[in-house]
Amino acid sequence: MKKKKNLKISCRKASLKDLEGICQLRSQSANDPEDKLTTEYASYDPKIDNPWIQKCLRTKQRIILIAEDTEGICAHSIVAIENVPKRKQQYYTYQKKALIVHLYVAIKKRHQGIGKTLLSYTLKFLEQQGVDFVELDCYIGNTKADSLYKKLGFKDIFIKERLNFK
């Protein structure tokens, strides 16, 4: 395990000027040799992903938060926010929920506390936005990520099953 460095990490909401850095990180995440589970299901196509990321940066239903160090963007979280429509609020115990769609730390920046810093920032940001609860998916076997999520208070609520035909 790499030794933690005393890095200055800052977190913030991303803007359109961050598009290139986010796309580069997203491309790396889909081809991450350390994460066999993610690479089995994820792919990166700039013609699809880059416009989607750009759309996320322009809408209120998706938020991208980034962690930066002196070298630039080193991690990002992509979050979907869902408001319960007024006509359905009587059926739900919440008004607003968030799903962390993607959380990724650059390969060379791992084991330095950046993921924890960004996830903590993301959770505080979402709480300030009035979100009632946050969900995320974690692949079985991704013990490092699962351990981080547990440290920050996440609990297992169900297991998602999948059967691939191709």
- Number of folded domains that form the chain: 1
Query: Residue 89: inside a domain, yes or no?
Result: yes
Q: What is the mean pLDDT of residues 55-81?
A: 93
Query: Residue 160: inside a domain, yes or no?
Result: no
6-47 confidence digits (pLDDT tens): 679 999 999 999 999 998 888 887 766 665 555 455 566 777
Query: Residue 46: inside a domain, yes or no?
Result: yes
Please report, for the domain that includes residue 25, its CATH number: 3.40.630.30
Query: Residue 4: inside a domain, yes or no?
Result: no
Query: Residue 166: inside a domain, yes or no?
Result: no
* Tokens found for residue 77: 């979280």
Strands (E), 32-128: 62-69, 72-83, 96-105
Query: Residue 125: inside a domain, yes or no?
Result: yes
135-160 confidence digits (pLDDT tens): 998 888 888 889 999 999 999 988 88
> How much is the pTM?
0.83
User: From residue 81, how far is each of 8, 45, 59, 95 by CA, in Å?
Assistant: 29, 24, 10, 11
Residues of the domain holding 138: 10-151
Query: Residue 55: inside a domain, yes or no?
Result: yes
